[in-house]
Amino acid sequence: MRLQRKIKTKKYRSRKNKRTLRRKNYRIKKGGEEKETCCMCAKKINSGESLIPRECLMKYGKYRAHKICPECWWGEFAKEDSIHKCPGCEKNIPIKPDPHAGEVIDLTTD
């Protein structure tokens, strides 16, 4: 009895994984991922591929921080002898507004 249950759950899980993969591939084909700009080379990259410098991540959070493409990250930024400060902050590239921050509504009455 238990063996049959395990086989059924395995089949269900594999079917479920295939479904989620299909959905994900469809989103990627339709251009569902947002494009970010690399702060070192100004190249457009998918938001899933971008890497964020730690200093900028701690200061501004995931959505507002400067992003770096993998080529620049491993080629220039992550070397041992390089300075690991955020290149976007050093170049004074403006931070984009937080998309998840709502407006503040003043409920006090005068």
Look at residue 99 and tell me whether its pLDDT is greater than 60.
Answer: yes
pLDDT of res. 71: 92
Mean pLDDT of 43-47: 86
Compute the mean pLDDT over every residue in the chain, rounded to the nearest whole number. Answer: 77
Q: Which CA distances in Å does 2 have to 5, 9, 12, 15, 16?
A: 5, 11, 15, 20, 21
Reference 71, options 45, 53, 33, 47; nearest CA is 45
Mean pLDDT of 15-31: 58
pLDDT of res. 107: 81
Look at residue 28 and tell me whether its pLDDT is greater than 60.
Answer: no
Look at residue 26 and tell me whether its pLDDT is greater than 60.
Answer: no
